[in-house]
Amino acid sequence: MRKLLYFSYFFPPMGGVAGLRALKFVKYLPHYNWQPHVISVKRIAAPAYDDSLREQISGSAVFYTEAFTPMRFLYLFDRASSLLSSSRSNYLRASEKKRFFWRNIFPIDSKIGWIPFAVHKSMTLGKKFEFSAVIATIPPYSAAVAAYRTAKKLSLPLIVDYRDLWQGNSEIPYSCQWLRKYSYEWEKKILSYAAAVIMATRSIRDQIMSFYPDIDDSKFYYIPNGWDSEDFQGLQSRCTSEISFTFIGSLSGEIVPHSFMKALQEMEAEGRLPNVKFRFIGSFSDEIKEILQVNNLVDRVEVLSHQPHRQALEYMLGSTFLLLFLPRLRAGFAIPAKVFEYLAARRPILAMIPENSEAAAILKENKVALLADFNDIPAIKENIYTAITLAKQGNIDREFSLQDNLINQFERKNLTRELGSILDKIIDEN
């Protein structure tokens, strides 16, 4: 079995969607004759941890290294002051402005202090195992730098897996021209060396080509995010008799549903929200919780902390509608990973996303959603009212193609087969 050195800063037991893509690749790659060895980071002040995810790959080799990064120091500070057990983490207390500041003052990104530790561990493993290739999932972009340095030193092919944009990512604009140029040169160097570049959306490919038109696009591949059928086995729906709308995930940066909450406030004032519950599940900052828990919606809005992955899926299955938010800037290159689990849950979706986005195209193809622009309050109100009416009349299954959506193409095991084929092709050609 060929061995793969896998750099994934976000990885279980760290919770949240950022580590799921790497987790599922690591879980299923051994089915296709590839054994990953993962390099990740020790515990940081992440919004959530989910030990149940790590159980999915209990037999896999995962190495957690030290890191000189703000989130690692914050975790150590929280632990030393006992904040993790007695109060909310300083990370969740921090305002969006403070988070934005810390994300944008470092070269590459705020995880740059992980690079020397990750590379050192990779060199140690390189002496012990005969690896055939190196892969990094980004962001953070520091993972790509660490993987690049490792691949060069070990004379191995490099694969870069883009979950999100690097240049052009509106959430990391960098604080000065020098940082932008430094980051640009590093990305160009990595793309030039890489044997394969994988993108989670087709829009990312287009954006990369606009920044780096000289890069050979024959090494670009599209592997979307997906869903894992094993995650849904044996689940019990957490349903209630009331009409419920559920969001599961994170809200930060540009993805803060001000317009949606304004629409709810107006509808409540108009008496158009009878016996309806809006549920938000995730590790939200204090600032976000204040936005969600407005006074006149106390009886309508429920905010729950991060749930283990399978429990979160049970909330999906038990919801009348699922909520999706994607502002216009993000919609130009991103498809929220939750889209595919939403499809697998076979529940209709109330989506606040641009109609011409790649995410909207998937929802339209599967005929499972009511769409409105992220900031279009009148359209959002109309869709909420339509959803409530359909639920009351029992017409949801007639309105949406919930049982016939095209989810098999997004099954994680099938997507991992594609990655295995790309890896085999690279090795065979070299």
Q: Is the pLDDT of residue 85 over 60?
A: no
- Residue 92 has a pLDDT of 64
Range with the poorest average pLDDT among 22-31, 289-298, 355-364: 289-298
β 34-41/2-7 pair status: parallel
Residue 325 has pLDDT above 90, yes or no: yes
Q: Is the pLDDT of residue 88 over 60?
A: no
Q: Residues 113-138: what's their mean pLDDT?
A: 97
- The CATH number of 2-226+411-429 is which of 1.10.10.10, 3.10.450.350, 3.40.50.10860, 3.40.50.2000? 3.40.50.2000
Average pLDDT rounded to a whole number, residues 123-146: 97
CATH 3.40.50.2000 spans which residues of the chain?
Answer: 2-226+411-429, 229-408
pLDDT above 70: residue 54: yes
Confidence of residue 240 (pLDDT cuts 50, 70, 90): low
Higher pLDDT, 91 or 101: 101
pLDDT of residue 168: 84
Calpha distance 371→375 (Å, rounded): 12
341 has a pLDDT exceeding 50: yes
Residue 96 pLDDT greater than 80, yes or no: no
pLDDT value at residue 283: 84
Q: Please report the DSSP string for 390-404 in residue order.
A: HHHHT-HHHHS--SS
∠ at Cα 259 (278, 174), nearest 5°?
A: 115
pLDDT band at 238 (very low <50, low <70, confident <90, very high): low
Distance CA 151, CA 145 (A): 10
Report the chain's mean pLDDT, rounded to a whole number: 90
The predicted structure's pLDDT at residue 86: 46
pTM value is: 0.92
d(CA 54, CA 335): 25
Torsion of CA 74, 76, 79, 81, to 10 degrees: -70
Please, are residues 189 and 324 in contact by the beta-carbon 8 Å criterion? Answer: no
**Backbone phi, psi, residue 336, to 5°:** -55, 130
- The span from the CA of 391 to the CA of 310, in Å, is 25
The yes-or-no verdict on residue 430 having pLDDT over 80 is no
pLDDT of 304 over the 70 cut: yes
Q: In what order do the strands lie in the sheet with 34-41?
A: 61-65, 34-41, 2-7, 133-138, 158-162, 196-199, 220-222
Q: Which pLDDT does position 415 carry in this prediction?
A: 97
CATH 3.40.50.2000: does it fit domain 229-408? yes
**What's the pLDDT tens digit per position in 200-211?**
999 999 999 999
What pLDDT score does 58 carry? 79
Within 8 A by CB and 6+ apart from 154, the residues are: 122, 123, 126, 131, 134
pLDDT(87) > 60: no
Q: What local confidence, expressed as pLDDT, does residue 13 receive?
A: 92
What's the average model confidence in pLDDT over 392-407? 83
Q: Does residue 84 carry a pLDDT above 60?
A: no
pLDDT value at 239 more than 70: no
